[in-house]
Amino acid sequence: MNCGTSIETKVADPSTLAQTLFEQAAAAGRDTLNHTELSMLVASLGMVFNPNGALVQTHPPVELGLGLNCTREFGMVISAGIGGLDAALADGNFRKGRATVYAATELTDATDFLVLFRRTLAYQKLATIASRSAASVPDAQLQAGFAQLLALAKHFSPGQPQASFRLRKLVLNPVQVGSELSVQAAHCEFDAPLPDRLPRPIHKIDKLIHPASIGIIGVSSTSMNFGRIILKNLLGSGYSKERMTIIRPGESEIDGVKCVASLEALEHKLDLLIVAVAASAVYALVDEIIRTDAVESVMLIPGGLGETQASREPSAALAERINAAHAQPGGGPIFLGANCLGVVSHPGSYDSWFIPLERLPKPPKKPERNSVMLSQSGAFMITRLSQNPWLDPRYMLALGNQTDLTHGDMLTYFAGLAEIDTLGVYIEGFKDLDGLSFAKAVRTAVLNGKQVVVYKAGKSAPGKGGVMGHTASIAGDATLFESVLRQAGAIVAPDFNAFDDLFYIAGALHEKKIGGRRLGAISGAGFEAVGMADAIESDSFSMEMGALEPNTVGRVEEILLAKKLNTLVEVRNPIDINPGADDEAHLQIVQAFLKDPNIDAVVVGLDPTAPSVRALQTSKLRPGFDISDPKSTVHLMPALVQCNDKPVIGIIDGGELYDAMSAALMDQGVCVFRNCARGTQALVRYVEARLYTEHLKHPR
């Protein structure tokens, strides 16, 4: 991957020497390298070990921090950024990606990582010093150093069968850059490789989401317990009684569904078994499921498995037994959960959530759904769907505490489904090395033309504690998480609102072309036009207001003249077209902006409170002057959006009076936000991700 001039680096592979040094240190009872060994290792990386700190060629010197760290979630991660005394202060005092950058070593190379490093203040300082002294920026030295670090990481990363050691940590800090990299201090730790989990047979996820047969354990015949609610929801979602079986001794049928006494009594192997019993009964039941090989996939609903101190040891042993079963012929059953809300699968025609339909009415069925929501928290999905019914994904799966199936498993499966365009994921924590599997799946998904929107919980210390008590997950470092997943290609949301916005906009704009970062902003409200302009920057990216061509200015002036607004409005970008502009004026100006080659996307305030706009469901003052009028935005805008391949965002900033206008536009595929700042910010983050995806597909 290369965004600039390719620099060839031919240096020796340091792994052979590192192997010898690790063997020597281990024989001496150490898991760290001593001063002499560090000097040799640094030299093998093509750098100079200079512990006395003599200054090199830059004045003042620029101190960098370089490193390899074997993280629990992502395996080996390379980092580069501000070093020396400033490093301790940097991460909390600069914008994201400006102090230190990180990447999973399996998803980057030296050229690509140099491009990432160029975002940092450390690199910009190097470039400034080089410019002042009329020297070259030391890209060749940096890229050579990155290449050697990556070569070392490749050999000693987790999962490498040829490696008898795992590189746990290599820190080079501070490092000065001159004609070569000069390392003033170094630290290296290593240990023995850890055993890998057996691969899950993820092809069986198809049985989980498209089951030809479903069994349920835990259905009460006398009360409305969780199992009975799940049964009601399955029947209410249209799943056939004839394809269901209840495992309950002493009953012949419940709610018209056949009962059998045990798993051994099943007439055929089940695609899916839903387990809704008490947590204490799960341990023996899982052993029975594995022994009988009576099901392909299992949904573990009960909580209390690994979320409390008393349950962690037996739950870990349960996970080991499930993992061992994957070594059986056929891979054994897969398990979703525990502490799992369940699954909604529209193609599978079933809803196994234990939320009564009266508390979460399902939205009307859409002709086409192209998204998936994966979440450790079932309640997260419930609230998203309750507040944003237009999302209504094709599949919604709650992962719970990932006793077996993980985020990486799920995303790997869905990344390959052609009918899926957008994936929204809520994560509390990863199982060991599953962050790397997830990041690889993100990269596969985006290269397959999909978008992955992620929110990570547990950023603060109290939040991490809450995560451990909820799904027994270990919440890792938030900065590392965001850096690695953004580098893989994910759109990482900073909060719940941003997740909603990004998941929605990714689905709504998936088919639109992103040609660049030049925005056109239109509104009849001055504050809104300015608000759009103020919202075009994120922590790591910014759009710009496109410069209108003379032809565009002339066309807009004609529209304003025809609407008798020409004396009130100056044509520019952003433009305040005055509250006197009607529906037609708004959309004609949008069309003019879209035709301008200097505009890549348009945000338009649709000014619902303006008296000239047909925004009410019913107007008492002017009967017929409402959204039912053929001249209303509701009737005119969908065709405009559909016939243009550039993104258009509509803003309807108003109260519940304008819900009908908003819903009518959204139902017709128009991307609508109820706040100009949120809409513009979502577009900025989305454009950044789409442009990065193009870089991944077509590196320059």
Is the pLDDT assigned to residue 1 strictly greater than 50? no
CA end-to-end span of the chain: 8
Gyration radius from the chain CA atoms? 29
Q: What is the pLDDT of residue 283?
A: 93
pLDDT interval class at 372 (50, 70, 90): very high
Mean pLDDT of the chain: 90
Q: What is the pLDDT of residue 6?
A: 38
Instruction: State what percent of residues in the chain have pLDDT above 90.
Output: 76
**Region of poorest pLDDT, from 7-21, 388-402, 584-598:** 7-21
Scanning the structure block, which residue is given the tokens 């805008």? 637
pLDDT interval class at 464 (50, 70, 90): very low
Nearest-CA neighbor of 209 among 329, 339, 372? 372
Instruction: Report pLDDT digits (tens) over 189-243.
Output: 999 998 888 899 999 999 999 999 999 999 999 998 999 999 999 998 889 999 9
**Region of poorest pLDDT, from 85-94, 168-177, 335-344:** 85-94
Domain boundaries, the chain: 15-191, 198-356, 370-510, 518-697
Is the pLDDT assigned to residue 275 strictly greater than 60? yes
Is the pLDDT assigned to residue 471 strictly greater than 60? no
298/96: higher pLDDT: 298
The CATH classification number of 198-356 equals 3.40.50.720
Q: What is the pLDDT of residue 462?
A: 44
205 in Cβ contact with 297 (< 8 Å): yes
Nearest-CA neighbor of 489 among 533, 455, 526, 439? 439
Name the token pair of 33.
Answer: 């390298």
Do the first three CATH levels of 198-356 and 370-510 match, i.e. the same topology?
yes
Is the pLDDT assigned to residue 472 strictly greater than 70? no
Is the pLDDT assigned to residue 473 strictly greater than 70? no
Q: What is the pLDDT of residue 5?
A: 36
Q: Span 546-564, mean pLDDT?
A: 97
**Which residues, 6 or more positions from 276, have their beta carbon under 8 angstroms from its beta carbon?**
216, 217, 218, 219, 225, 226, 227, 230, 301, 302, 354
693/132: higher pLDDT: 693
pLDDT interval class at 87 (50, 70, 90): low
Q: Span 605-619, mean pLDDT?
A: 96
Alpha-carbon distance of 13 to 189, in angstroms, equals: 19
**Which residues, 6 or more positions from 187, have their beta carbon under 8 angstroms from its beta carbon?**
32, 38, 169, 170, 171
Q: Span 77-91, mean pLDDT?
A: 79
Q: What is the pLDDT of residue 84?
A: 80
CATH 3.40.50.261 fits 370-510, yes or no: yes
Q: Span 123-128, mean pLDDT?
A: 91
Alpha-carbon distance of 593 to 548, in angstroms, equals: 8
**Region of poorest pLDDT, from 84-98, 110-124, 427-441, 659-673:** 84-98
Q: What is the pLDDT of residue 477?
A: 80
Is the pLDDT assigned to residue 93 strictly greater than 90? no
Residue 493, strand partner residues: 455
Report the b/e string of 646-662 with b at 16+ CB within 10 A: bbbbbbbbbeeebebbb
Q: Which fold has domain 15-191?
A: D-amino Acid Aminotransferase; Chain A, domain 1 (3.30.470)
- H-type helices in 157-254, by residue range? 205-209, 226-236
Instruction: Report pLDDT digits (tens) over 333-366.
Output: 999 999 998 999 999 999 998 776 666 656 555 5
Instruction: Report pLDDT digits (tens) over 289-341.
Output: 999 999 999 999 988 887 788 888 988 999 999 999 999 999 999 999 999 98
Q: What is the pLDDT of residue 359?
A: 66
CATH 3.40.50.261 fits 518-697, yes or no: yes
Q: What is the pLDDT of residue 8?
A: 39
pLDDT interval class at 508 (50, 70, 90): very high
Scanning the structure block, which residue is given the tokens 């023995």? 192
Is the pLDDT assigned to residue 420 strictly greater than 80? yes
Q: Span 65-82, mean pLDDT?
A: 95
User: Residue 175, SS3?
Assistant: strand
606 in Cβ contact with 673 (< 8 Å): no
Nearest-CA neighbor of 454 among 403, 391, 412, 496? 496
315/546: higher pLDDT: 546
pTM: 0.91
Q: What is the pLDDT of residue 386?
A: 79
